[in-house]
Chain A
Amino acid sequence: MSAVEAYARLLAARAGAAQPVASVRHVHLSERPLVLVPLTMAGEANAPLAALVGTDERAPALLVVGQPRDRALRFAFASELAGILLAHVERCAAAGTEPVKPPKAAARQQPATAPAGRGAGRAGAAAGGLGGAPAGADAAGTGEQGTDGPGADWEAEAAPEPAEPVRFLDAPQVLVPNRAGIDFVRLFGRSTRFRATTGEHAVPAAVPVLGRWLTYLAGRAEHPGSASLVAMTEALTLHWATGQSALEDANLAALMAWIDPPAGLSGPEAALLAEDPVRWPPAGPATDPQFDNRVLAPAIRAYDAAAAGQAGSGGGDERLGEALAEIQRVARTQLEPTWRLMWRAVDRLRALPAAASAPRRWERDRARFTAYYSYLRDSDGGLPQARRDGAVAAARRLGALERELAEYEADRAFDDPLVLAGHRVTGEAFVGTVVGADRERRRPNERGSLVTRPLVQLRTVDPARLATGTRVRSPARPGQTGVTLAVEPADDGFLVVLELSGGMGRSKVPPPGSVPKVGETLAYTSLLVEGAFSAGLPAPEDTPWTHGGPPSPYEPAEQDARELWE
C-alpha cells in the first residue's frame, strides 16, 4: 500500500468509482487464456464439487461431481479437467518455437548444477522432443535458476545442455477468480500428481499428468510478475483502487462493481448488491453455506438415493441421470455469474495497453513452460514434483523470488508514471527540471585515465530522499545511469546533482541530445532492475549435512499412489 494508492482510494470513495493506479497493463494477457472457476465441497480437503472452464466465454465446459465424497467420481472429474488443460498445453506447445540467444555468463552457472551423468542422458533424449529439442529452454539470459514450484530439485537437475535451445512461442495461461483459486490449483495438483495409472489404485491415465501441470502452474504463481496462473482479483487491484478495503476487494464481484458497475449504479451501490450471496454467489472455491444447506444438500441426497437405487436394482439409470442433471443445474447457478465476471475483467484489462516489460516477463513464463514440457517428455524425466524442497533448493528459490520481486517493482515503476508516482512520495524516485548541465565534463577514473562524465542539476519539488552515491535511471533514457553527487534543499524542494555515464556514444564530447538539456523535465528512479545477485549457494548435490544433505530425488512410492482421499 503506497501513499498514492491510499490517496487513490480516497478519490474512489468520493467519486463512487474505482480510480486507476496503473496506466498500462503490467500483466501479460494471452489471446486465449484458460479461465477456470472451481468450487469445492465445504469441510472436505479440497474435494472438487464443480467447475466452469474454457478458453471461450460462450462455450465453457461444466464439470460436476455428483457425490464429492466419492473418490472415483473425484478422479473422473480430474480426468475431465485433464482433458481440457492438457489440450490447452498442447495448443500452446504447437504454436511454434523461437531460437534462444546463447546464455550469458550468469546463466551459465546453472547447467553446471546438473550431475554429469544425468545431464548427458537428457541431452540425448531431448532430441526426440517436439519440433526438435525444446530442452534447455531456460537460457533466456535472466540467470534464473531452476526454481519452479515445490520441487525445485528436479528442475535444477533437469537443466540440460543447451544443445539447440528453443523456446515455445506461447505458454498456458490460467485465470482463476482469486487467491483461493490458486490454492485450489496447488492442492488439486498435490492430490493428483502422485497417483498411479496401473495396479490396484489405478486412476485415469491423464490424472497424474494433470497433477504435474497444476503443480507447475501453482509454482509459477509464486513468482512475482509471472502470468501463467493469475488470480483475477490480484490482477485487477494492481491496476485500480476502489473506495473499499483490500479485504472487500478480495470479493471479485464487489471489486468489479467498483471498476465496472452496471449502468445506473455507482460503485458502492453495485458493491453492496455484489455482497448478496444469492444474487452474486461467492467466486469460490468455497460455496455459500446457505446454498449448501438449502440447495446443494437435497440435490446430493437425491443423487445418493438414485445411485443406491441403481446399485440395488441394477436399473435406474434415468433417475441417476436426472439427479446428476439437477446437480449440474444448481452448480451452474453458482458458477455462471463468476464466469461472466471473469471475462468482463479480462476485457477491462485488455483495454489497457501492455506495459513495456510485460513481454519480457512472459518470455520467462514461456521459457519455464518449454523446459517443463520437455522435462515431462524426457525418457528419464517426468517424475512428479517432490512434496517439499530440499534446503538448498528452498534457499535458492527464496533468493530467486526476492530478486524477481525487486525486478518486477523496478519494471513497473519504469513502465508506468502512475506507479512511479508512489515511489516519488517515498523519495525513491523524483521528477525534476534540468537547471544546469555540464555536457563536456571529464574526470579521471580509478585507473587515472580521463573519462566523460557529464553533470546535470535538477530542481524538484518531490521529497527526494536519495543518499549520495545512489544509482538512478530515467525511463526516458534507459541506457544512461546517474549517480547522485548531492541532494541539497533548495527553495521549496531539492537540487539534485547527477553524474551521468553511458548512453552517450564513444566520442570524447557527447553528441547533442545524449545528455539532458536545461529546461528538460525528467523522472529518475533508484529502483533499478539489475539487483545484486544473491550470494552463491552450493549446488543441490553439495548440500551440507547441516541442511539435510543432498536431496534424494523423488522416488515413486507405492503408498503415494495409494494415498487416501476420503
Chain B
Amino acid sequence: MRHEGKTEARLGRIRGSEPPRRHNARTIAALTSNPGCARRAVLDAAGVDKERLAARVGFPAAFGQSQFAIVRGNAFEKQVKADGCAELLRLLRELLGLDLEQATYRDLGAGETGDSLHPRHAAARAQLAGAAEGARPTVFDHPLLRLDIAGQEVYLEPDLVAFQHGGAFHVVEIKSFPVIDGQADGEKVAAAAIQSAVYVLALRRLLGRADAVSHEVVLVCPKDFSNVPVATTIDVRRQLLVLEHQLARLTRIDTLLDALPDDLTLDLAENGAGGPVVTAEALTGALGRVAARYAPGCLSTCELAFFCRREAAGRTATLGAGVREELGGVETIDEALGLAHGTLAPDEERAEAAAMLRTAARVYAEGLQAASAAVPPAPVALTADGEPAAPPGAGAGP
C-alpha cells in the first residue's frame, strides 16, 4: 500500500524550501548504474540539487558543459527538426524504407498546456494512444512521459522524438557526436543507448503494450566531420533488460525513508539574512545518515562523488570493482592487508581470499627482491607471523 501523500511530504521536508529538481533520462540511467546507493535514490526522489549540495559541503563537483558543446548540440538538433522535422523524416524514410509522404509533426511541448505536468502527460498519453490505433505517420516532439522509480512517479521531460507509423513507435535520439566511417565514440553511444532505453520503457508503460514500441531506436548524429545528419538504428534490448532489472532492484523509497530520522533535511535555501537555513556541518551530518555505496564510476555519473569518495577512504571499493574482486571482496584496505600479511586471521568465509592474498604478498615481495638482485627469484623467509621478512612498501615507492 502506498502512502503517496506521506511520502511526498517527507521528501518535501528533506528538500526543504527549494524547488525540486526533475529526473531525466540521464539521471535515471545513472541511478540504475549504482542501484544500491540509497543516498542517491533519496536525494533524487526528493529532487535535491546535488551539484549545489556538493559545493555546500565542500566537495564541488567538476560537472558542467562547455558552451561550445551546447551551442553545437542545439544547432544540430534545430537543423534536424527544422520545417516540421523535414530532415528527420527524410532520414527515417531512408532508414526504415517507408513511404512517409503523408507524415505529420506534432509538438507536445510545454507551449500547449502550460508548464504543469499532469495535464501535459495526460495530453501526451491521449495523443500517443490515439496515434497507436493507426493513423498517418506522425513525429511527436517533446511528449511528457512518466515512469515509476522506486515507488515514486517520475515525469520525464524528454528532448525526445517518438515516431509512429502503422501503430508502432520508434524512439528517436538526436545527438551531436559524430559518426565517422560508421563508428562513433563507444562511451557516448552506450550513454545514448541507455537513455533511449529509458524512453522506450516509459513509452511502453504509457501505451500499456511492450510491442507498441520498437526496441530499435533511431540515433541521429552528424556524419563524419560534417553537419550532415545520418541515422542509424541501435538495438537496445540488452539495455532494456538491464534497466528493468535495476529498476526492480531499487528499494522502494518508502523503505529507504523509514530508515532515516524524521527531521532529516538537506535544505539548501538561504534565510532572510542571506545565511544558510542549514549549516554546512549540519548538511554533512545529514548526508552521513543516508547510506551511500561509492564506486569510482560515481566520478562520472554523480555530483556527490568527491564527497562520497572521501567518506569511503580506506575501503577497497575506492580502488575499483576489478580490484575489489581480485581481493575476494574484502571490504577495507586494512583488512585486506591484514589478511595478506597474516596479521589478521581469516574467518571461514574469507579463507580462500586470505590464501590468495598471502600468496600475492609473498610472490610480490620475492619479485621485488629478485628484481633488485637481478638474479632468479629466491624464496623469501617468512617471519613467525607470516609477514615477509622484508615487507614491501616500506620503500615507499620507486
Contacts and interface: CB of A to CB of B under 8 A. Distances in A.
B212 to A, nearest CB: 35
Interface residues of B, number: 63
B224 interface: yes
A351 B361 CA distance: 25
A9 B361 CA distance: 12
B371 A417 contact: yes
A438 interface: no
Interface in B21-43: none
Interface of A: 1-20, 23-24, 41-46, 150, 187, 190-191, 240, 243-248, 259, 267, 275, 277, 287-290, 292-293, 297, 348, 351, 387-388, 416-418, 420-421, 424-425, 431, 433, 461-463, 474-476, 521-523, 563-566
Query: B222, B392, B398: which has the most chain A beta carbons within 10 Å?
Result: B398
Interface in B44-78: 62, 64-73
Interface stretch (B101-109, B165-173, B238-246, B375-383): B375-383
B180 A425 contact: no
8 contacts: A14-B393, A41-B68, A43-B66, A46-B225, A243-B319, A421-B360, A563-B225, A564-B224
B359 A463 contact: yes
Contacts of B314: 13
Contacts of A43: 66, 68-73, 176
B115 interface: no
B356 interface: yes
Contact of A7 (B176, B222, B357): B357
A388 B67 CA distance: 34
A475 B376 contact: yes
B312 to A, nearest CB: 11
Contacts of A7: 327, 340, 357, 360-361, 364
B359 A425 contact: yes
Nearest to A20: B398
5 nearest A-B residue pairs (beta carbon): A23-B371, A43-B69, A43-B72, A564-B226, A42-B66
B67 A6 contact: no
A433 B380 CA distance: 12
A246 B320 contact: yes
A566 B226 contact: yes
B190 to A, nearest CB: 15
A6 B323 contact: yes
Contacts of A290: 64
Contacts of B397: 12, 15, 17-20, 240, 259, 267
A418 B372 CA distance: 10
Contacts of B327: 3, 6-7, 10
Contact of B319 (A2, A245, A388, A433): A245
A463 B362 CA distance: 12
A392 to B, nearest CB: 19
Contact of A10 (B66, B68, B182, B336): B336
B181 A44 contact: no
B283 interface: no
A287 B69 CA distance: 11
Contacts of A8: 364
Given A2-B326, A42-B69, A248-B299, A23 B378 contact: no
A24 B396 CA distance: 18
A410 to B, nearest CB: 17
Contacts of A461: 362, 379
Main DSSP-derived SS at the A contact region: mixed
Contact of A45 (B65, B224, B299, B336): B224
A274 to B, nearest CB: 12
B267 interface: no
Contact of B320 (A245, A297, A351): A245
A546 to B, nearest CB: 20
A247 B225 contact: no
Query: B64, B66, B378: which has the most chain A beta carbons within 10 Å?
Result: B66
Nearest to B397: A17
A565 B226 contact: yes
B326 A45 contact: no
B370 interface: yes
B346 interface: no
A45 B366 CA distance: 49
A534 B224 CA distance: 34
A7 B300 CA distance: 25
A255 B182 CA distance: 34
B318 interface: yes
Given A243-B319, A421-B367, A11 B379 contact: no
A8 B397 CA distance: 10
Given A45-B225, A418-B368, 11 more contacts: A6-B319, A10-B319, A14-B334, A17-B397, A20-B371, A41-B68, A43-B176, A247-B299, A277-B62, A431-B376, A431-B379
Contacts of A288: 62
A191 B180 CA distance: 10
Contacts of B228: 564
B296 interface: yes
Contact of B72 (A11, A44, A563): A44
Contacts of A462: 359, 363
Contacts of B72: 42-44
Given A6-B327, A425-B356, A417 B398 contact: no
B269 interface: no
B19 interface: no
Query: A44, A45, A187, A522: which has the most chain B beta carbons within 10 Å?
Result: A45
Contacts of A1: 320, 322-323, 326
B323 A522 contact: no
Query: A4, A190, A475: which has the most chain B beta carbons within 10 Å?
Result: A4
Contacts of B297: 247
Contacts of B232: none
Contact of A424 (B69, B178, B363, B378): B363
B333 interface: yes
A20 B364 CA distance: 10
Contacts of B363: 4, 421, 424-425, 431, 462
A467 B296 CA distance: 38
B319 A244 contact: yes
Interface string B312-347: 001010111011001100000110110010000000
B227 interface: yes
A266 to B, nearest CB: 9
A418 B226 contact: no
Contacts of B372: 23
A42 B333 CA distance: 39
A23 B367 contact: yes
A11 B337 contact: yes
Nearest to B63: A289
A277 B66 CA distance: 14
Contacts of A243: 319
Contacts of B398: 18, 20, 240, 259, 348, 351
A73 to B, nearest CB: 15
B157 to A, nearest CB: 22
B114 to A, nearest CB: 32
Given A13-B319, A245-B320, A259-B397, A3 B64 contact: no
A374 to B, nearest CB: 27
Contact of B227 (A190, A191, A348, A564): A564
Contacts of B378: 521
Query: B70, B322, B397: which has the most chain A beta carbons within 10 Å?
Result: B397
A14 B337 contact: yes
A252 to B, nearest CB: 16
Contacts of A15: 393, 396-397
Contacts of A20: 368, 371, 397-398
Given A292-B67, A564-B227, A424 B371 contact: no
A243 B337 CA distance: 13
Query: A16, A44, A287, A297: which has the most chain B beta carbons within 10 Å?
Result: A44
Nearest to B225: A565
